[in-house]
Amino acid sequence: MTLDGIWNWLQSFLSVGAPLILLAFGLFKWFGQKWIEQRLVIGLEKFKAGQQNELEEFKSEQQKELERLRHRLSSRISKIHEKEFEVLPKSWLMLNDLHGSVALALDLTFKIYPDFRMLPGAQFEEFLTVSPASRLSDYQKEALRKLQDASDRRKYFTDAMAGINFDDAKEKQRIFHNYLIENRIFMTAELREKFGMLDRSLSTLLTNYSVQPAHSAQSDQEEVNRLKNMIDEVEQLVQERLHYEEA
């Protein structure tokens, strides 16, 4: 084929083939873009579905953890309330008992002691076996036996019982004080303050009496009465805290 023939063929091919090539390229580009877009949409949907599943699983785990924490908190609060129902009534009863013991130790209560002139022989020995004389130590009982004069026996017995009553009050105050320390976390701030104030006040009364037994009985009585009013206030607070009116 001559050069002119080749040139003519090339011109014919370009005039017909070039549009076909451009058309084919355009179709390929269009279909390729659509395919890519479709694959991207499919991939995006899979990704979103996977993310949604992970999110749901995460929410489920978080909900379970939240419920577990709520249960633990509810359980702890329940245990604290159960402890309150044990600690508060016991603290109030111990406080009342201590208050009475302090009044007895300070000789502010009416006491009936026997007339030793009316207790000869066997009756005297029987007297030593029942309360309050039964609380005397063996040494004190023997010392009391050796005293023949009724007035001497009465004085010895009165002094001995005063010492016993004072020791009782001091021991109860010590036990009550330690109980408050051990259980104050189960009390509200107001109850903790009032119980503590009463504890300190009763302890001060005992200390002052041990230093000056002969000081004013009237002032002691006024203080004991004042503390009794405070104890009544604590009783009301305890009842409100434990919702006694709803029981």
Which token pair is 18? 């070039």
Reported as a single tens digit per residue, the pLDDT across 89-117 is 999 999 999 999 999 999 888 888 888 88
pLDDT score at 75: 46
Q: What is the mean pLDDT of residues 37-47?
A: 71
Report the chain's mean pLDDT, rounded to a whole number.
81
More confident residue, 37 or 217: 217
Q: Which residues of 132-147 are buried (b: 16+ CB within 10 A; e: fewer)?
A: ebeebeeebbeebeee
Q: How confident is the model at residue 12 (pLDDT cuts 50, 70, 90)?
A: low
* C-alpha torsion sign, points 137, 142, 147, 148: positive
What pLDDT, on the 0 to 100 scale, is given for residue 110? 83
- Average pLDDT (127-154) is 92
- What tokens does 107 get? 């000789």
- Give the C-alpha separation, 246 to 232, whole Å: 20
pLDDT in tens, 163-177: 999 999 999 999 999
**At 84, which helix (H) or strand (E)?**
helix 3-105
pTM: 0.67
User: What ranges do the domains of the chain cover?
Assistant: 83-246
Average confidence (pLDDT) over 190-204: 96
User: What sign does the CA torsion over 29, 33, 34, 35 have?
Assistant: positive
CA atoms within 13 A on the CB side of 183: 21
Read off the pLDDT band of 1 (50, 70, 90): low
pLDDT, tens digit, 9 for 90 and up, residues 51-95: 777 767 766 666 665 555 554 544 454 565 688 889 999 999 999
Q: From its phi and psi, is residue 130 left (phi > 0), alpha (psi between -120 and 50) or beta?
A: beta
Q: In whole angstroms, give the CA distance from residue 79 to residue 86.
A: 11
Q: Tell me how far apart the alpha carbons of residues 23 and 10 are, in angstroms, rounded to a whole number.
A: 19
On whether the CB atoms of residues 191 and 88 are closer than 8 A, the answer is yes
> For residues 169 and 104, is the Cβ–Cβ distance under 8 A?
yes
